[in-house]
Amino acid sequence: MRAQIDSAGGLRHLVTLEGLSRETLLSLLDRAENYRRIPGQPAYEGRELAGVTVSNLFFEPSTRTRASFDLAARRLGAHVLNMDMQSSSRVKGETMLDTVYTLEAMNTDVFVIRDTEAGLPEFLIDHVAPHVSVISAGEAHCSHPTQGLLDVLTIRTHKRRFEGLKVVIVGDIRHSRVARSTAQALTTLGVTDLRLVGPESLLPDENEFRGAQRFTRIEDGLADADVVMMLRIQKERMAVDASLDDAAYFRDFGLTPARLRLAAPNAIVMHPGPMNRGIEIDSRVADGPQSVIREQVNNGVAVRMAVLAAIAATLTRHRLPL
Amino acid sequence: MRAQIDSAGGLRHLVTLEGLSRETLLSLLDRAENYRRIPGQPAYEGRELAGVTVSNLFFEPSTRTRASFDLAARRLGAHVLNMDMQSSSRVKGETMLDTVYTLEAMNTDVFVIRDTEAGLPEFLIDHVAPHVSVISAGEAHCSHPTQGLLDVLTIRTHKRRFEGLKVVIVGDIRHSRVARSTAQALTTLGVTDLRLVGPESLLPDENEFRGAQRFTRIEDGLADADVVMMLRIQKERMAVDASLDDAAYFRDFGLTPARLRLAAPNAIVMHPGPMNRGIEIDSRVADGPQSVIREQVNNGVAVRMAVLAAIAATLTRHRLPL
Amino acid sequence: MRAQIDSAGGLRHLVTLEGLSRETLLSLLDRAENYRRIPGQPAYEGRELAGVTVSNLFFEPSTRTRASFDLAARRLGAHVLNMDMQSSSRVKGETMLDTVYTLEAMNTDVFVIRDTEAGLPEFLIDHVAPHVSVISAGEAHCSHPTQGLLDVLTIRTHKRRFEGLKVVIVGDIRHSRVARSTAQALTTLGVTDLRLVGPESLLPDENEFRGAQRFTRIEDGLADADVVMMLRIQKERMAVDASLDDAAYFRDFGLTPARLRLAAPNAIVMHPGPMNRGIEIDSRVADGPQSVIREQVNNGVAVRMAVLAAIAATLTRHRLPL
């Protein structure tokens, strides 16, 4: 795969947080804070993407992530094309590439790609023109870099530091692109106490999440945690494992007020959404004072603006003259 | 339900015309006239909604109403998110609220809601943040406030007054949100001679439309009328009542040139669209000189601009500082 | 049909290239060159369509043509409504006209129409208001005028002249709106050596494409050609003619490197897309140095900007005063 960072140090593509430096991550978080407007404040409106065309290619439907990228791009002045790729049957690699080349020929500058299968974002990085960028908006179980960034931005806002933090992720770690991207960012930023909690069948392979501790009892993982990240449980997973029905999952892994009291008193509760209330999380926790779940959504737009703006700034160096 | 008007007298939400004062209605009509451009004139373009994000949540499909709101918002400079809610199965109340909170967290300022079931707009008014507004774009059989406003704007343009006007509404009054909202506006504005015409099974309960006269013979209702409002007959209604097949309905209640001659010589003919030509209305009437049906559509965009602009002006007082 | 050119010589509608003068065509090509930005250059952004509303009515799905018109209009400052007409069942003529009148009443200035059946664009020209324009984005097998324009623009860019050019079109000429529109433009611009190649069943009737030579052997048609235009073969056609299976078609009519060597050494290869690689064209040709296929896409946006801007300029003369 071609590098995500160009020779001048600018962000060219963003398909994984793996390998990105602490400085790159912090610079994106700082930029995102500049764009962040909490609900009730007028949204940031800028021209950083004026003249830029962003094509959203979503092979996997996602209302909320698409809306977040869409608003982020438009609030910075971009033209956005929303291509509904899932309505057509899965296209062959070659034909998909023709679609990409067609949109490139219409002066698309940035592709935002979401796919249930692995490999497409990296494949595109190797095939797009030198003046075109690729952003992953979710790739199979592998990677969801803007979600990872919004998670660490949310943590930084509340905890002001990463060193010494105790972070626990609960749920289907094995199949979670969110867990992978967020863990990569946390590790780069200095978190050393990372705990993974889930039923044995949903914990990752041993060679993944190096340095993290694994727990099959949520109570063990929650002890004194500063950050509690709950993952969405996929109904499909439950179908293949009878021990994972809704009630059993909530009994064993659901985040209740009682369990949350095992964490540090000022622990924050996170969830990437959409939530299954009453399955992985109790509504009293989801809507309680320690929940920062809606802040995550708010930070999501800010982070996507930051990534788009950083990439657009880099692209100006790769443009052809008029 | 929280008030639609805030303590400073500004429009905060619009989900029903019931209870709105004559002054509020007239102020919206005046504002709409300022935005109105007849076809052939360049459309009004303004910045009244600059920095405002409008999310259209249509749980009931409606191409024309959505297009009208969409253009109204964009011509005033808003960012518009069109969320296609009907493609997913009907979501549970709680999950729907999570969708709303997610869009709020993305700095949505105004929700435009359309739903086949009753209650959602009022429910949302009670749950959205203090800096967020709700507009109904059609709620079950109950309410369609912007349609009511565009109807009275159209009548005012042609008749210059409401006092002393004879207005007849023909069709399925019982299940019509249009009839309810328009009748509320007409009554508030001073119309005292309101007539409802339809087959017995499609007339409303006695405790609704207070003060209106009821007729089951269209000829009786049309006599000397200044305004004739035809409603769209729903095919679903006909299925349950054998007496309501297309031909029988047109024979008994269709507006023909001959019947229209029973009304006042300069009566105007209205229809909320889309029309069933040959069922509730004869094409010679729909396209005739007394028809103002296309003006209603034109006024619809102007009225929605007026409502959005009034709400945006109110919201500036409820915003948080930067 | 009403004239496509108004009394002052301005472009009013564009539904066919037939009958348009050489001067009109060249003026549109010149205008398009002004708008053209090759990939890597920042896209042209202008205000030529400020205050103009464009409604895309696509009765036939087309991701790429719709994206091309959408971007063309928005980059010139228009508001664009994308109406998804194919999701509803084919509507009756009368009701479709009500949809058009509704959008007119919302101040639509330009309709972009695509349809699998013949006749709709001309029908609309005869029914829209004097201040409204119609552009065809593809009409049955009859006409695809912006494709014709982008084809001749691509040829002019590479060949600098039309007189004396040898142009061959290969494929299902009989059912191709692209072939018809491009041939009309080429003939008007001075091409006299036009060759049509395809199996007997897919060649047009004798009274069409006057002056063109017909071949059933691709090798005969390719000899010394300056321009080789391949058409997309429709799978539906193959179903009705057993001799047209994929392999047989490629064997008899596929453009391979060996066959391309029969054309002039600097011949260009064109295809309207999307390509069936390995059926009508070999990937080594499609991606080879003589291919200008992606340039066609790039020129497509420029040509649509030119058409929209020319029509918008004409419409200002037909507008009503404020």
Between A238 and B114, the more confident residue is B114
Picking from A235, A294, A295 by the largest number of B CB atoms within 10 A of its own CB, the best residue to mutate is A294
Q: Per-residue pLDDT for C204 more than 70?
A: yes
Percentage of residues of chain C with pLDDT beyond 70? 95
The predicted model gives B223-230 an average pLDDT of 98
Percentage of residues of chain C with pLDDT beyond 90? 88
Mapped onto helix, strand or coil, the DSSP state of residue C54 is strand
Question: Residue C296's closest CA among C70, C38, C60?
Answer: C38
Residue C154 with chain A: CB contacts under 8 Å = none
Instruction: Assign C92 a pLDDT band (cuts: 50, 70, 90).
Output: very low
pLDDT of residue A322: 82
For chain C, the straight-line distance linking the first and the last C-alpha, in angstroms and rounded, comes to: 30
Between A95 and B73, the more confident residue is B73
Model confidence pLDDT, tens digit, residues A159-192: 999 999 999 999 999 999 999 999 999 999 999 9
Q: Give B50's Cβ-side CA count (13 Å radius).
A: 8
Which of these ranges, B234-238, C65-69, C97-101, has the smallest mean pLDDT? Answer: B234-238
Cα(A96)–Cα(C150) distance, rounded to whole angstroms? 23
- Identify which of C43, C273, C277 has the shortest CB distance to residue A107: C43
Are the CB atoms for B175 and B234 separated by under 8 Å? yes
Are the CB atoms for A135 and A14 separated by under 8 Å? yes
Phi (first) and psi of residue A296, to 5 degrees: -60, -45
Chains in contact with chain A (at least 3 beta-carbon pairs closer than 8 A)? B, C
pLDDT of residue A92: 46
Residue B298 with chain C: CB contacts under 8 Å = 105-107
Q: Write the single-letter amino acid at B283.
A: S
Cα(C15)–Cα(B214) distance, rounded to whole angstroms? 51
Cα(C49)–Cα(C271) distance, rounded to whole angstroms? 30
pLDDT of residue A87: 54
Residue C274 with chain A: CB contacts under 8 Å = 95, 98-99, 102
Q: Which CATH class is domain B22-143+298-316?
A: alpha beta
Domains C22-144+298-316 and C148-293 share a fold: yes
CATH 3.40.50.1370 fits C22-144+298-316, yes or no: yes
pLDDT of residue A173: 97
Tell me which of 3.30.390.10, 3.10.129.10, 1.20.200.10, 3.40.50.1370 is the CATH number of domain C148-293.
3.40.50.1370
ipTM of the complex in this document:
0.95
Question: Residue C283's closest CA among C230, C219, C223?
Answer: C230
Cα maximum dimension of chain B: 64
The predicted model gives C98-106 an average pLDDT of 96
Q: Per-residue pLDDT for A242 more than 70?
A: no
Alpha-carbon separation of residue A267 from A171, A225, A261, A275, B90 (angstroms): 18, 7, 9, 19, 35
Q: Cβ B40–C320 below 8 Å, yes or no?
A: yes
Instruction: Assign A196 a pLDDT band (cuts: 50, 70, 90).
Output: very high
Query: Which CATH code for domain A146-297?
Result: 3.40.50.1370
Picking from B103, B106, B317 by the largest number of A CB atoms within 10 A of its own CB, the best residue to mutate is B106
Q: Cβ C318–B40 below 8 Å, yes or no?
A: yes
Residue A51 with chain C: CB contacts under 8 Å = 42-43, 45
Q: Which CATH class is domain A22-144+299-316?
A: alpha beta
Q: Write the single-letter amino acid at C319.
A: R
Instruction: Assign B148 a pLDDT band (cuts: 50, 70, 90).
Output: very high
Phi (first) and psi of residue C282, to 5 degrees: -80, 135
Let me know if B89 is exposed, middle or buried by CB neighbors in 10 A (0-12, 13-18, 19+).
Answer: exposed
Instruction: Assign A95 a pLDDT band (cuts: 50, 70, 90).
Output: confident
Between C322 and C282, the more confident residue is C282
Task: Give residue ranges of B with CB < 8 Å to any C CB.
Answer: 37-43, 45, 63-64, 67-68, 70-71, 74-75, 273-275, 277, 283, 294-295, 297-298, 300-301
User: Which residue has tokens 């409106």?
Assistant: A45
Instruction: Assign B245 a pLDDT band (cuts: 50, 70, 90).
Output: confident
Domain boundaries, chain C: 22-144+298-316, 148-293
Q: Cβ A40–B81 below 8 Å, yes or no?
A: no
Model confidence pLDDT, tens digit, residues B258-308: 999 999 999 999 999 999 999 999 999 999 999 999 999 999 999 999 999
Q: Per-residue pLDDT for C89 more than 50?
A: no
pLDDT of residue A58: 93
Residue B101 with chain A: CB contacts under 8 Å = 294, 297
The predicted model gives B101-107 an average pLDDT of 97
Model confidence pLDDT, tens digit, residues A251-287: 999 999 999 999 999 999 999 999 999 999 999 999 9
Tell me which of 3.50.50.60, 3.40.50.410, 3.40.50.1370, 3.40.50.1110 is the CATH number of domain B145-297.
3.40.50.1370
pLDDT of residue A83: 87
Average pLDDT, chain A: 94
* Tokens, residue A284: 């009293």
Neighbours of C211 (CB within 10 A): 10
Read out DSSP for B303-320?
HHHHHHHHHHHHHHTTPP
Chains in contact with chain C (at least 3 beta-carbon pairs closer than 8 A)? A, B
Picking from A38, A71, A270 by the largest number of B CB atoms within 10 A of its own CB, the best residue to mutate is A71
User: Which residue has tokens 């004739």?
Assistant: B228
Read out DSSP for A56-117?
EEESS--HHHHHHHHHHHHHTT-EEEEEE-TTSPPPPHHHHHHHHHHHHHTT--EEEEEESS
Instruction: Give the bridge partners for B11, in sequence order.
Output: B5
Phi (first) and psi of residue A281, to 5 degrees: -150, 140
Are the CB atoms for B135 and B114 separated by under 8 Å? no
pLDDT of residue A69: 98
Read out DSSP for C79-136?
EEEEEE-TTSPPPPHHHHHHHHHHHHHTT--EEEEEESSSSHHHHHHTTS-TT-EEEE
Q: Cβ A53–C68 below 8 Å, yes or no?
A: no
pLDDT of residue B193: 98
